[in-house]
Structure 1
C-alpha cells in the first residue's frame, strides 16, 4: 500500500507507483471524489476528444464526428474574421 505525508501547506506527493498506475505526468489534472460510502477516490482528468465524442447524444440527432467538430471550429473562426 502506498502512502505519503501532507505538508504544512496541504500538499502531497503522489507515490510513483500510483502515478504510473494512473498514467499521470507533470501537469496532469486529478479530481478528488467522496463516494457514497465516504471513501475518497482520485480520478485522473485526462480525456481525448475521441473519448468525449458523442457523449451528449440525443435520440434522433446524428452524432458529430471529429471531422464535423473540426469543420464547425473552422467555420466559426471564419465568422470571427
Structure 2
C-alpha cells in the first residue's frame, strides 16, 4: 500500500493497517527498524486514546466557578455596553 510523505514528513496510515492495529485518532504509535532494515509500526496500549480523552474532560467537568449568563458573556466578548 503505497503512500506519499508530505513536506512536513507526515504520512497517512492506510485504513486496512489502522483497522488491523485498532488505531483511532489520538492513539500513540511507535516506529522501529527491524534487523532486515524494514520499518515496523507498533500500536500504543489499547484504550489509551479513549481513556486520555475521557479523563481530560472529566477532570474539569462542573468546575467552572463563574456564573455567566449567555447574553452577558456575549455582550462582554463583543464589547457591547
TM-score bracket relative to the smaller structure:
0.5 to 0.7
Query: For each residue in 1:23-71, what CA deviation from the matched residue of structure 2 results, as whole angstroms up to 9, or x when unmatched?
Result: 00000111111111111100001157xxxxxxxxxxxxxxxxxxxxxxx
Output the CA distance in 2 between the equivalents of 1:30 and 1:12: 13
| Aligned residues between the structures | 47
Larger Rg: 2
Higher relative contact order (CA 8 A, sep 6+): 2
Asked if 1:4 corresponds to 2:3, the answer is: yes
Give 3-state SS (helix, strand or coil) of 1:17's partner: helix
Stretches of 4+ aligned residues off by more than 6 angstroms: none
Unaligned runs of 5+ in 1: 49-81
Gaps of at least 5 residues in structure 2 are: 48-81
Q: In structure 2, what is the equivalent of residue 35 of structure 1?
A: 34
Root-mean-square deviation over aligned CA pairs: 1.3
Q: TM-score, normalised by structure 1?
A: 0.53
TM-score by length of 2: 0.53
Distance in 2, Cα, partners of 1:14 & 1:37? 21
